[in-house]
């Protein structure tokens, strides 16, 4: 089992259906440190730094984080050093308010999107696309996971529309949250819900 948690190295990456969180975090941290060093060695404008963070750094991080179960705090820790490089390029203090940093540029912010929000948005889009599919195993697995979540939450209302998942996840800090739990809890925090009718119940 330990070997499965460490994963198998192939084509420069570690692969495993049971890839442990420490291994995932270490891999992502190494990617970010590499990008941080590149940004440090080749100073560019704030706009170019933001583009590199969005197009390059996030591109390397997102596909691994998508399948993991990193918390919001862990995602924030991963992006902190990169965010500081952007603030330095923009000649802003390191303690610049996160709210203003995350606001879109057209409403007075700097356009830095929260990595956790982007991760959850991608995950929810994936769920919404495949959960009602009867032609692939993905749809079956997602519906099964949703049913299991409903049993764990033990709520009268369907999960994803009442805030019960958020409370459940908050009280389960002693273990890793389930992949789907995280996504649905995020949806609740954004006042979003799954709309699929009776096939999703």
Instruction: Say if residue 4's pLDDT is above 60.
Output: no
Mean pLDDT (whole number) for 104-132? 86
* Per-residue pLDDT tens over the stretch 17-64: 555 677 778 888 888 888 888 887 777 888 888 888 887 888 888 888
Question: How does DSSP assign 186-200, residue by residue?
Answer: HHHHTT------GGG
CA distances from 32 to 85, 88, 183 (A): 12, 17, 24
Confidence of residue 172 (pLDDT cuts 50, 70, 90): low
């Amino acid at each position: 089992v330990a070997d499965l948690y460490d994963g198998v190295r192939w084509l420069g990456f570690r692969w495993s259906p049971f890839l442990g969180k420490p291994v995932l975090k270490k891999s992502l941290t190494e990617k970010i440190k590499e990008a941080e060093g590149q940004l440090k060695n080749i100073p560019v404008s704030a706009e170019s730094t933001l583009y590199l963070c969005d197009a390059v750094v996030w591109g390397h991080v997102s596909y691994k984080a998508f399948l993991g179960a990193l918390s919001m705090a862990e995602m924030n820790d991963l992006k902190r050093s990169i965010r500081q490089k952007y603030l330095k390029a923009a000649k802003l203090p390191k303690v610049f308010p996160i709210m203003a940093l995350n606001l879109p540029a057209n409403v007075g912010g700097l356009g830095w999107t929260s990595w956790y929000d982007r991760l959850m948005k991608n995950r929810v889009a994936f769920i919404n696309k495949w959960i009602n599919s009867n032609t692939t195993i993905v749809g079956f697995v997602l519906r099964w996971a949703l049913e299991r979540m409903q049993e764990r939450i033990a709520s009268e209302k369907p999960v994803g529309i009442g805030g019960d998942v958020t409370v459940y996840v908050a009280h389960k800090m002693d273990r890793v949250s389930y992949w789907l739990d995280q996504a649905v809890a995020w949806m609740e925090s954004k006042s979003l819900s799954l709309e699929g009718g009776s096939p999703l119940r």
